[in-house]
Structure 1
Amino acid sequence: MRLGYIGRRGIYDVVRRIAFEVGLFERGDVTVVDAGFRERGEVVLHCGDYRCVATELFTSIPRVLGGGKLGVDLGASKNGLAYVWRGTPLLHAVLDWGAVEKILKGIDGVEVHIGSSPYVDVKKATSLLGCGEVRLVDELSASWSRRWLRDKYPELEEDEIDALSFTYHDGVRASLCGNKHP
C-alpha cells in the first residue's frame, strides 16, 4: 500500500511527517492532492499545517480504503494515533485533544483500539464514537511490543509507538453508549 502526493513541497513535508510511505508527485494506491492544484485524488487537502493535515488524513483515508484499525494512546497533554490497514501501518501522529476529538467523531467503520490503564479516562474518548464498539487494550500487555516497534520505526515518538502497539492487540470489546435522553 503506497500513498502518492501531488502538490506543494511544503505540504508534502507535512504529509511525510504523518504518513509512513508517501511518494512526491506520483499517484499511489491512494493519492493525496493539494487543493491548490487542479488534479484529481482520493483525498484533497484544503490546509497545510500539521494538525489540520493529520485530521484530514485520519478521517479521509480510512473512508477511502474502508475499515482498518485506529490505535489511540491518550495522554494528559498529547495523544498518539496510528492507523493500520490490512496489517500495514499507514499513518501516525501526536495531536492535542481537540484534533483527536475531531478524528474520533469523523471516523466510521474503523476498529478503534484505545490503551487502557488506571491513569486514562477512556470513557471521554469512547463517548465520541456514539454506540460504536471500541477495543480496550491493556497498556501493560501492549508494552511488550514497544521495543520491536521502536527498532522497526525509529522515527516515531513514544506516543505513536504506543498507539501502533495497541492495533496489534485484540483487547476487550466494549460498547459504551452515550446518554440518549430527550
Structure 2
Amino acid sequence: MVRRVAFNVALFERGDITVVDAMYRERGDVVLSCGDYRCVARELFTALPKLLGGGSLGVDLGAARNGLAYVWRGEPVLHAVVDWQTVEAVLRNAGPLEIYIGSSPYVDVKKAAALAGCREVRLVDELAASWSRRWIRARYPELEEDEVDALAFTYYGGVAASIC
C-alpha cells in the first residue's frame, strides 16, 4: 500500500501528465505496475523528469532514511522519504536531471555520486544549505525533515563533482 505520494498537480505546456495505476488502466504517461511506496516513488522519480525534460533532484542521505525532492522550473513537484535501495535505483536511472547531494562527514557521498555514472553531480554542504530550512518548512509544512533537506540542496549551488 502506498503511504503517501505528494505530487503537485499542475498544467504543463504539453498538457496534463497522467499517472495511472496499471490495475485500473493500462494507458497513461506513467503507468504504475506496483503498489508499494518504494516502487511508486522509484517509478515517479525516474519517469517524470524524462517526461518534463529535466529539472533538479535533491538527495539527503541518512543512516536509515533518505530524502528525495524533484524540482522542475523552480517548483517542487515530487518528494519522498525512501530507503537506500530506492535512492540507488533513482540515481542509476536519473535521466536528464541536475543532481544535488547533501555532503556531511556522516554520509558516503562518493558511493551515491558513483551511482550517477560519469555525469556531474553537485555536492552541497549540508550546513551551508541549512539557511533555507525555516523558509521551506513554512512554505511546505507537509514535508518531512529529510524532504526539506533534499529540497534545500536543490536551491544551493554546491561544488561540481564527477566520479568515474
TM-score by length of 2: 0.92
| 1:149-168 mapped onto 2 (5 Å cutoff) | 149-168=136-155
The answer on 1:85 being equivalent to 2:72 is: yes
Q: Which has the higher contact order (CA 8 A, sep 6+)?
A: 2
The 5 A counterparts of 1:34-113 are: 34-38=21-25, 40-113=27-100
Between the two proteins, the alignment pairs up a number of residues equal to 160
Q: Which amino acid is 2:146 matched to?
A: D
Find out whether 1:145 has 2:132 as its counterpart.
yes
Say which SS state the counterpart of residue 90 (structure 1) adopts.
strand
Query: Given the alignment of the two structures, is residue 128 of structure 1 paired with residue 115 of structure 2, yes or no?
Result: yes
SS at structure 2 position matched to 1:36: coil
1:21 aligns with 8
Deviation, structure 1 residue 114: 0.3
**Uncovered stretches (5+) of structure 2, i.e. residues with no partner:** none
Unaligned runs of 5+ in 1: 1-9, 178-182
Aligned-pair identity in percent equals 70
State the 1:141 CA deviation: 1.0
Query: Displacement, 1:117?
Result: 1.2
Q: Tell me how far 1:49 sits from its aligned partner.
A: 1.3
Distance 1:129 1:88 in 2: 23
State the shift of 1:94 in Å.
Answer: 0.5
**What is the TM-score with the length of structure 1 in the denominator?**
0.83
Q: Given that residues 8 and 76 in structure 2 are in contact (C-alpha distance below 8 angstroms), is that contact kept between their aligned partners in structure 1?
A: no
After TM superposition, give the deviation of residue 118 of structure 1 in Å: 1.5
Q: Distance in 2 between matches of 1:20 and 1:141?
A: 28
Partners of 1:29 and 1:137 lie apart in 2 by: 33
**In structure 1, distance between residues paired with 2:9 and 2:96:** 24
Whole-Å separation in 2 of the counterparts to 1:174 and 1:152:
30
CA distance in 2, matches of 1:69, 1:167: 6
